[in-house]
Structure 1
């Protein structure tokens, strides 16, 4: 009897050891895969612009159009959404605006692309607005047209509210602007905010996130472009794989997690925005609901113009680039007239 129990104990111990070894080997393999993917991604997509010094770090910016001091139709600052980088809006509309005579600056938001995360509280759009305003001041950029897509709807409006001297006008594309139903996860759904949840997410960020993301990145992008299709060459042209690096992936998660609470505080201030504003959104946006955000924002910002594009989804700067560029140019003309 003792011999049988001893054999069972040895078998269980051996099984547990094998399982533990297999898990350790899998974690190690994922860590190695993440490291390799990071190296490959950064080699394929090196810095494309310059870095501007701000307090405690640097912000990366891609520039196009007339240079500093050259005649131009004005300066346009492009601010990308979640899971993106400065090349995304530059590819969509930035180069076209530059060709039309505008000086175009597209920033990597803090922690994205090749910008430093800089501040421990950089998930806040208000903190990112302060850093971008500081970068614009360092570049001697006066009031500029600020174009914010999706997540950066909150950032662009924070710039207009907190740093109005840097904002000549706002062009908000499918902007996130208001708290949305179910956005405050709370309760059991907020498990990831607990200590065990944060630990598990951190482990996932440095192990499985990059390999899984690399394998399914095109499918994730297709969802964002619905109901339109994914443009050929988008992932490579917009340098989307940069989001897979652990530091950037983690920054993206923190930005998204804190957005709802931030908008609860900021949204009552929209009636005090004084910058000329145009809001462009698609009526079938599956990501940022136009009724909750764009329409509500247009009602609250004094004098705001709302353009709702029928049959268009979230990535309107790509699928409706002609209309978006036309609205930005009209905003520039309106600002000059005023």
Structure 2
């Protein structure tokens, strides 16, 4: 059963809509660098996944299909039949599911620093165990250390601190349940069903979803998909915000 997602809806009501869904352990604030430039051209809807931020925390485990169903319910509640979609990491997994299983709802798809599967699910098994025993607080700094390149992180301590806070305040049960969704996710057999124009943005030094094999598998699997590699780690939309935002805007506008 879907839940009513917390979201922030900004920009002109008569502009084309774009939905932004972030990474595991993030909130709508992850997209702060994109808001001002995108709202010049789009109605921008930022979303907290279930189990995150201001959204409900239903009992887990969750599946990516559950997370995608929440987004579809939100679109229905807003009266939006068709939107551009941009998702990073877990948000990208949700986007792949939406684009293959509800193609009539997605006009353009941008997938940032994400994967269609994880070759070794042990990363998620271990993360679930860590959060179940100690909560999200103790893992937050380690998680965020993979989000930005070390040099950039050293120059932007406030951004890093905010990201650590987002992870640390994610409800333990919601975080663990979303880890289970990623553990079980393998969308490779459905990539060929995606018909929306697709842009894949990858970070050149992303330790979580590196270009090979993650971005490459998606680009090779989705007909006509295009790859752009930015000089960034996992949160390329923050570390290279200007470049990423322009790519997202141009692609989403069609």
The verdict on a shared fold, with TM-score over 0.5 as the criterion, is yes
Structure with the greater alpha carbon radius of gyration:
1
> How far 1:166 sits from its partner (Å)?
1.9
1:117 match: 57
Task: Work out whether residues 282 and 316 of structure 1, in 8 Å CA contact, stay in contact via their aligned partners in 2.
Answer: yes
Which residue does the alignment assign to 1:80? 22
2: CA distance between counterparts of 1:323 and 1:171? 14
Instruction: Give how far 1:92 is off.
Output: 2.6
CA contact (8 A) 1:283 1:308 kept: yes
Distance 1:144 1:84 in 2: 22
- Give 1:95 deviation, angstroms: 2.9
Asked whether 1:243 is paired with 2:243, we answer: no
Root mean square deviation of aligned Cα: 2.7
Kindly tell me the number of residue pairs found equivalent between the two proteins: 252
Stretches of structure 1 that go unaligned for 5 or more consecutive residues are 1-54
SS of alignment partner, residue 223 of structure 1: coil
Asked if 1:284 is matched to 2:223, the reply is no
Quote how far apart the aligned CAs of 1:252 are.
1.5
User: Which of 233, 238, 251 is the aligned partner of 1:318?
Assistant: 238
Change (3 A) 1:294 1:219: closer
Structure 2: how far apart are the matches of 1:272 and 1:278? Answer: 15
Within 2, Cα distance between the matches of 1:307 and 1:190?
31
Q: Is the 8 A contact 1:124 1:259 kept in 2?
A: yes
Equivalences for 1:189-268 in 2 at 5 Å? 202-205=132-135, 209-210=136-137, 212=138, 217=140, 220-230=143-153, 231-235=156-160, 240-245=164-169, 248-263=171-186, 266-268=187-189
Q: Could you tell me whether the CA contact under 8 Å between 1:243 and 1:249 is conserved in 2?
A: no
CA contact (8 A) 1:278 1:304 kept: yes
Taking a change above 3 Å as real, the CA distance of residues 324 and 201 of structure 1, as seen in their structure-2 partners, is closer
**The one of 1, 5, 8 aligned to 1:62:** 8
1:330 corresponding residue in structure 2: 250
What TM-score, normalized to structure 1? 0.67
Q: Which runs of 5+ in 2 are unaligned?
A: none
The equivalences for 1:48-197 within 5 A come to 57-66=3-12, 70-72=13-15, 74-89=16-31, 91-98=32-39, 100-118=40-58, 120-121=60-61, 123-180=62-119, 183-185=120-122
After TM superposition, the runs of 4+ consecutive aligned structure 1 residues lying more than 4 A away are 189-193, 217-220, 235-238
Q: Could you give the per-residue CA deviations for residues 96-133 of structure 1, whole angstroms, max 9, x where no partner exists?
A: 211x2211000100010010134644x21111101110
What is the CA–CA distance in structure 1 between the aligned matches of 2:148 and 2:96, rounded to whole Å?
A: 24
Structure with bigger helix share is 1
- Equivalent-residue separation in structure 2 for 1:218 and 1:179 (angstroms): 22
**1:261, distance to aligned residue in structure 2 (A):** 2.3
- Ranked by relative contact order (alpha carbons within 8 Å, sequence separation 6 or more), the top structure is 2
Question: TM-score scaled by structure 2?
Answer: 0.87
The CA distance in 1 between the partners of 2:144 and 2:3, in whole Å, is 31
Is contact 2:87-2:112 (8 Å) kept? yes
- The equivalent residue for 1:18 is none
1:83 Cα deviation after fit: 1.2
Aligned pair in 2 of structure 1 residues 236, 104: CA closer, same or farther (>3 Å)? farther
The secondary structure found in structure 2 opposite 1:146 is: strand
